[in-house]
Amino acid sequence: MQPQFALVAIDRLRPHERTQPRLLAQVLDDLRTTGFVRRALLVEAEHLVILDGHHRYEALRRLGCTRAPVYLVDYEDDGIGLTTWPEATVKSVTKAEVIDRGVRGDPFPPKTTRHLVRFELQGVRVPLDELR
C-alpha cells in the first residue's frame, strides 16, 4: 500500500507515545509563526495509531485544530522499520506493542520508538486555518 495523504479528524488519531514539554513548546511556536504544517503525521491506516508526529499532533490539538494532515500507511509494509532511540528507557519494542499502546491509550514515554521509513514522504504545506 502506497502512503495515502489525507486530512483526518484529530480525535480519531491515537498516540502511542507521550510528548516532551520543551519540544512541544518549540513545535507550537513554529506552527504559530509559520501558520502551516510542513510535515504530515505518519499514521498506521487500520487503527489510526500515530507512528511519527506526536508533537505535531499535540500542538495541532492545542491550537484548536479539528483535523490533521497525515500519511496513512500499512504498518506491516517492509518499508517501515522500527527501533528505539539510544536514550529510550524501553530498549525493545515490536510493531504489535506500538499498536496495542495506541489502541489502549497507554502511551510509551517520549522518544521511545523510532520509525525508519524506506520510501519518500512528500513535504506538505497545509494552512492551520484549513485544519480548524
Give 81-92 pLDDT, tens digit per residue: 999 999 999 999
Is there a domain that residue 128 lies in?
no
In a domain, 59, yes or no: yes
User: 75 lies in which domain range?
Assistant: 4-119
Q: CATH number for the domain including 109?
A: 3.90.1530.10
Give the per-residue pLDDT at 109: 97
129 domain-assigned: no
Q: Specify whether the CB–CB gap between 21 and 54 falls below 8 A.
A: no
How many separate domains does the chain show?
Answer: 1
Residue 111 forms part of a structural domain: yes
For residue 23, pLDDT over 90 is answered with: yes
- Residue 97 in any domain: the answer is yes
Sorted by sequence, the CB contacts under 8 Å of residue 2 that are 6+ apart come out as none
pTM: 0.97
Q: What is the pLDDT of residues 91-110, one digit of tens each?
A: 999 999 999 999 999 999 99
